[in-house]
Amino acid sequence: MENNRKDFVPQIELGSVVLDSNDIKTLSDFYIRMLGWEKEYEEEGIWISIVSKAKGARISFQSNEDYLPPVWPEEEGKQQQMVHLDFSVGSKENLEAAVQHALACGAVKAKDQYSDHWVVMLDPAGHPFCFVE
């Protein structure tokens, strides 16, 4: 059914944020450990989706043999980040606990930090993500 009204917006919902990797099992296992989420779907060697316990958020991992980790902060001529994830930790007190937990799960703290209110981390595939108070 076509609708020509300028204010018409069809139902569109975000189904998942998708991260590429050349090792989707390692990357999905990292996020499962770090977030306490569950594996929802797997097409072996091609695709894995994980979902929050409340089933309201999803991250998927797509296999890409040619994947190059992004360089952050950016450097001219290097692979740039295409997206990053922000995870709310609720308070300044929880910020350091979240960082320590992520490190224990296999994350790396980015060498460049720009605020006392968030911490930039890198997952095992090099995708940047932030913990935000």
Q: Which residues lie below 8 Å from residue 87, measured CB to CB, with a gap of 6+?
A: 35, 98, 129, 130, 131, 132
- Domain boundaries of the chain, sorted by first residue: 13-66, 68-133
64 Cα distance to chain centroid: 16
Q: Is the pLDDT of residue 58 over 60?
A: yes
Q: What percent of the chain has pLDDT over 70?
A: 97
Query: How much is the pLDDT for 76?
Result: 79
| Tens digits of residue pLDDT in 96-107 | 999 999 999 999
Which tokens go with 116? 């006392």
Question: pTM for this structure?
Answer: 0.88
Give the residue-averaged pLDDT of 22-29: 98
Number of H helices, E strands in the chain: 2, 8
Task: Write the DSSP assignment of 34-60 as a string of letters.
Answer: HH--EEEEEETTTEEEEE-TTS--EEE
pLDDT at 20 over 70: yes
Quick check: 37 pLDDT over 70?
yes
Model confidence at 1, pLDDT cuts 50, 70, 90, reads low
Q: Copy the structure tokens of residue 87.
A: 């995870």
For the stretch 63-113, pLDDT in tens is: 999 999 888 777 777 777 778 999 999 999 999 999 999 999 999 999 999
The dotted CATH code for 68-133 is 3.10.180.10
9 Cα distance to chain centroid: 28
- The CATH classification number of 13-66 equals 3.30.720.120
